[in-house]
Amino acid sequence: MAADSPLITVDFETHPSRYKHVRVDVKGPIATLSLDIQEDGGLRDNYVLKLNSYDLSVDLELADAVQRMRFEHPEVTCVIITSALEGVFCSGANIFMLGSSSHAFKVNFCKFTNETRLYIEDATEHSGQTWIAALNGVASGGGYELPLACEEIYLVDDRRSAVALPEVPFLGVLPGTGGLTRVVDKRMVRRDRADVFSTLAEGIKGKRAVQWNLVDGIFPPSRFWDGVNARAAEIAGEGHPDRVGVELDALNPTVSEGGIEYRHVGLRFGPEDRVAHLELRMPESLPAIPADATKLGVGWWPLRALREFDDALLRLRVNHPDVGVVLVRVLGDPKLALHLDDQLTSRQGDWFVREVTGNMKRVFKRMDMTAKSFFALIDAGTAFAGSLFEVALAADRAYMLEEDGVAIGLSTMNFGPLPMGNGLTGLQSRFLADPEHAAGLRERCGELMDSDAAMDAGLVTEAYDDIDWEDEIRLVVEERATLSPDALTGMEANLRFAGPETLETKIFGRLTAWQNWIFQRPNAVGPRGALTLYGQPETAEFDFNRT
């Protein structure tokens, strides 16, 4: 997709029956995901996915498999990811796809793949599904960054297979899926060795890869699968044979020129230029959670609605780059929102309830990572309370109407279960200068606060009466929509993650920011840039002046 080519509309939903590139095999407590990437099965037809190279179509399947493993196969406690091709695990993101894509598409592609790899790590940490990588061939670039998201990595020792991050020497760009960060922060490879490795196009193999901690172990070809399977069995143990999963159904939104309509979510474009209206709608009532929570099924509101919200965010990112401002409302009864949180917190010992809560956390993180300006509008009929107040905390600003009946509220869900990428809660990030105030708000859990109380507590940006509401909101929206989208993207990314830096914030702050810049530089994408000339006989020509 060249910069001036028509926008390709991406559907982020898929199902194992439609997978082209990923094979899933579940046997008791162990699942195996095999990459069998079809050369002619890419998102576009102007490149070929050779050597298990991937594009967004592949990562959509991988992301879907990670999500389904949690909900549909809770009995699984170890997931092996490997390749169906002997001699090649994965050669990374397809270079011709990157070279022919617009800047915006490249950035959002990298963002989505980063989120998927973070979700793999989250599954290991919070869902009890330990991922291990079985590299039965060369793992290069993104093909090594995927194993880096796994808890353990095993490489075949056949004198040929290596792990590599060749983006800097080959393409003049950075490894785009957290590779540099994970090598030093997660694998804790020495800085000098990491420097050598990241500029060594051919990579590192065998015992040296183990010595440098780039992999956890090696096995000769004759014993590779015996070694991997033995380790997987050790990790998996007996699994959770008592758990029976629920199948995730299709969302099937109605898509039109004016917006997207789901069962519990609505996304409408305009009438303002470059503005979208995003609504999350609560039902009138919620069922009690039975002894077996899975009987609630995939239609249970906090699961179904947040899956819809997540899909809307992804479509906004990739399919609607012209939208700059998103006005968000959560519609419903705030008392019902607080009741939902009582249900969730009282049943965290149930795997299904815990997974639904974890999905909420990941969706709110997706909002944090989306390059749109979000304004939460707290007016009549809205339910920004408890876990749903996290939507307002994730927004860049929150405006509240001064009117009887308009209220916000907090619950225990705002004090731990839904952390941001920086490891802090939304409240801790908001009140970084006054942690005692953030902690003290716990005493107000269950209380509904009007606009005066919300302003006094520092929980909203501004409050307006009904006379000024429409004019004030119109003015702030019009102003925001006229500002430079590049400057806003950089500003928001810097402001959203106060406090400590984590692997996650480094990836989305430091890596994404630098890659965003490098993806526009002539040394990478100019007429004589390394990414432009990849696969051609000419050699890249660099401007060697450093900035």
Asked whether the beta carbons of 150 and 178 are under 8 A apart, the reply is no
Q: What is the torsion angle, in degrees rounded to the nearest 10, for the CA atoms of residue 109, residue 113, residue 114 and residue 116?
A: 140
Closest to 323 in 3D by CA, of 281, 366, 272: 272
Alpha-carbon distance 442 to 387, whole Å? Answer: 13
Alpha-carbon distance 498 to 115, whole Å? Answer: 20
In this predicted structure, what is the pLDDT of residue 356? 98
Q: Are strands 30-35 and 162-164 parallel, antiparallel or unpaired?
A: unpaired
Residue whose structure tokens are 């549909």: 72
Asked whether the beta carbons of 243 and 261 are under 8 A apart, the reply is no
The DSSP annotation for 163-216 comes to: EE--HHHHHSS--SSSHHHIIIIIS---HHHHHHHHT-TT-EEHHHHHHTTSSS
Tokens of 374: 């979000």
Asked whether the beta carbons of 440 and 368 are under 8 A apart, the reply is no
Q: Does the N-terminal peptide bond of residue 271 adopt cis geometry, omega within 30 degrees of 0?
A: yes
Closest to 224 in 3D by CA, of 136, 133, 143: 136
Alpha-carbon distance 390 to 410, whole Å? Answer: 9
pLDDT digits (tens, 9 = 90+) for 127-137: 999 999 999 99
Position 409 confidence tier, pLDDT thresholds 50, 70, 90: very high
Radius of gyration of the chain from its Cα atoms, rounded to whole angstroms: 24
pLDDT digits (tens, 9 = 90+) for 30-79: 999 999 999 999 999 999 999 999 999 999 999 999 999 999 999 999 99
Q: Does the N-terminal peptide bond of residue 147 adopt cis geometry, omega within 30 degrees of 0?
A: no
In this predicted structure, what is the pLDDT of residue 7? 62
Alpha-carbon distance 116 to 366, whole Å? Answer: 11
In this predicted structure, what is the pLDDT of residue 6? 46
Tokens of 123: 């599954």
Side-by-side strand order, sheet with 152-156: 22-27, 30-35, 78-83, 130-135, 152-156, 217-219
Q: What percent of the chain has pLDDT over 90?
A: 94
In this predicted structure, what is the pLDDT of residue 513? 85
DSSP SS3 for 365: helix
In which residue ranges of the chain is CATH 3.90.226.10 found?
16-236, 254-491
Question: Which positions ≥6 away from 537 have C-beta within 8 Å?
Answer: none
CATH superfamily of 16-236: 2-enoyl-CoA Hydratase; Chain A, domain 1 (3.90.226.10)
pLDDT digits (tens, 9 = 90+) for 93-129: 999 999 999 999 999 999 999 999 999 999 999 999 9
Region 187-193: what's the mean pLDDT?
98
Region 345-352: what's the mean pLDDT?
97
In this predicted structure, what is the pLDDT of residue 423? 96
- Residue 10 predicted with pLDDT over 60: yes
Element containing residue 117 per DSSP (H, E): helix 103-126
Letter for the amino acid at 122? D
In this predicted structure, what is the pLDDT of residue 514? 87
- Residue 387 predicted with pLDDT over 70: yes
Alpha-carbon distance 345 to 391, whole Å? Answer: 18
Region 212-216: what's the mean pLDDT?
98
Alpha-carbon distance 49 to 94, whole Å? Answer: 6
Weakest-pLDDT range from 327-336, 428-437, 501-510: 501-510
- Residue 310 predicted with pLDDT over 70: yes
Closest to 345 in 3D by CA, of 444, 418, 448: 418
DSSP SS3 for 399: strand
In this predicted structure, what is the pLDDT of residue 41? 96
- Give Dmax over CA atoms of the chain in angstroms: 77
pLDDT digits (tens, 9 = 90+) for 218-259: 999 999 999 999 999 999 999 999 999 999 999 999 999 999
In this predicted structure, what is the pLDDT of residue 4? 39
Output the average pLDDT for the chain. Answer: 96
- Residue 5 predicted with pLDDT over 50: no
Asked whether the beta carbons of 8 and 43 are under 8 A apart, the reply is yes
In this predicted structure, what is the pLDDT of residue 516? 86
Region 397-422: what's the mean pLDDT?
98
Alpha-carbon distance 98 to 411, whole Å? Answer: 44
Region 386-395: what's the mean pLDDT?
98
Closest to 20 in 3D by CA, of 3, 1, 34, 41: 41
In this prediction the pTM is: 0.96
Sign for the CA dihedral angle at 377, 382, 387, 389 comes to: positive
CATH topology of domain 254-491: 2-enoyl-CoA Hydratase; Chain A, domain 1 (3.90.226)
Asked whether the beta carbons of 59 and 113 are under 8 A apart, the reply is yes
Q: What is the torsion angle, in degrees rounded to the nearest 10, for the CA atoms of residue 197, residue 176, residue 358 and residue 407?
A: 140
Alpha-carbon distance 128 to 75, whole Å? Answer: 10
Burial class (CB in 10 A: 0-12, 13-18, 19+), 512: buried
Position 1 confidence tier, pLDDT thresholds 50, 70, 90: very low
Closest to 396 in 3D by CA, of 514, 471, 479: 479
CA-angle at 363, arms to 361 and 368, nearest 5°: 95
